[in-house]
């Protein structure tokens, strides 16, 4: 397959003040830019949020999903998110122009010509390896590739690629439009050029880059899961109810949301998967509590199923 030449960067839009809105922010320095054509593999909540951010920053965005139904759902997520941003005053622009730069497909070949592709498929090592190698096969030699993994080894993922020096982790946080943080995860072979560019891309999205070397759980997931697992153990042991444990952290330590409510938002199955991985790599301190395992087995996954540590049906 012949690959199109990777496009030049485009200047990022600015002027979205305040937290809680889309963080394209007034933090942008002159010349901050994102690639002109960016791909996102996976159009679920995270992938759609990533696509939203790059579209607002001025890029043409290509989202690839596994089938036609999923692709149309991804389009609806991104377009709805952009419309809500416009309603909130999150950007000064034309919605039709923005959505006109959004392309949704089921064909990996649609990534040809992208300067950057961000993989955002579920947190499964085999799935990510399969997805990343398939994407890399469609890219030009001058393209960059990143994974949105929240805990898996970026170095191990890079080891399956033909050009590991052009790969890093870009760990976005949910909900992507309102979040202020992206972890830039450097694998063993990540080039110095990519390390610089990744920070610039995050700046161009109006977010703060936190650069970490590849290690299980990175910085945020490792600390966040440790706190969440201990909170779950406290419920299991009858120390206090979920509401009171969360209130202690919100009121006493200024957490924006308690660890148990956040676990419901993230998904108990996601928490369990990360905990099991960290348990296998970092030892007993990350052993999942029995309560978490039992709740996942019962299908009590948090907000997405209507029940977790809280009742979300009201």
Closest to 148 in 3D by CA, of 113, 177, 180, 183: 183
Would you state the pLDDT for residue 193?
Answer: 97
Q: How far apart are CA 288 and CA 165, in angstroms?
A: 34
Which 8-state DSSP code applies to residue 61? E
Q: How far apart are CA 39 and CA 146, in angstroms?
A: 10
**In this predicted model, which residue has the larger pLDDT, 36 or 5?**
36
* Environment class of 99 (CB within 10 Å of its CB; exposed 0-12, middle 13-18, buried 19+): middle
| pTM score, whole prediction | 0.83
Bridge partner residues of 116 (DSSP)? 38, 144
Would you state the pLDDT for residue 37?
Answer: 97
Q: Which domains does the chain have, with CATH numbers?
A: 10-213 (3.40.50.720), 221-305 (1.10.1040.10)
Would you state the pLDDT for residue 308?
Answer: 98
């Amino acid at each position: 397959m012949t690959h199109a030449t990777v496009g030049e960067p485009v200047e990022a839009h600015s002027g979205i003040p305040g937290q809680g809105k889309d963080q394209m922010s007034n933090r942008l320095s002159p010349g901050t830019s994102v690639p002109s054509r960016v791909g996102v593999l996976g159009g679920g909540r995270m992938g759609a949020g990533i696509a939203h951010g790059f579209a607002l920053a001025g890029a043409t965005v290509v989202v690839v999903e596994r089938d036609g139904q999923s692709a149309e759902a991804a389009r609806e997520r991104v377009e709805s998110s952009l419309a809500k941003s416009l309603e909130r005053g999150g950007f000064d622009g034309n919605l039709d122009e923005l959505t006109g730069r959004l392309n949704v497909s089921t064909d990996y070949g649609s990534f040809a010509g992208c300067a950057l592709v961000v993989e955002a498929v579920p947190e499964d090592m085999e799935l990510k390896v399969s997805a990343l190698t398939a994407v890399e096969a469609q890219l030009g030699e001058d393209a960059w590739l990143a994974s949105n993994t929240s805990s898996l080894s970026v170095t191990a993922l890079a080891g399956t690629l033909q050009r590991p020096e052009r790969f890093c982790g870009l760990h976005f946080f949910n909900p992507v439009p309102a979040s202020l943080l992206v972890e830039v995860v450097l694998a063993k072979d990540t080039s110095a050029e990519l390390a610089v560019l990744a920070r610039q891309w995050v700046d161009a999205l109006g977010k703060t880059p936190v650069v970490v070397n590849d290690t299980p759980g990175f910085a945020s997931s490792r600390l966040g899961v440790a706190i969440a697992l201990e909170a779950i153990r406290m419920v299991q042991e009858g120390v206090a109810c979920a509401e009171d444990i969360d209130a202690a952290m919100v009121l006493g330590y200024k957490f924006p949301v308690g660890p148990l409510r956040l676990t419901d938002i993230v998904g108990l199955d996601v928490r369990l998967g990360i905990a099991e991985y960290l348990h296998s790599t970092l030892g007993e301190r990350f052993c999942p509590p029995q309560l978490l395992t039992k709740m996942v087995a019962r299908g009590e996954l948090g907000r997405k199923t209507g029940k977790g540590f809280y009742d979300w049906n009201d």
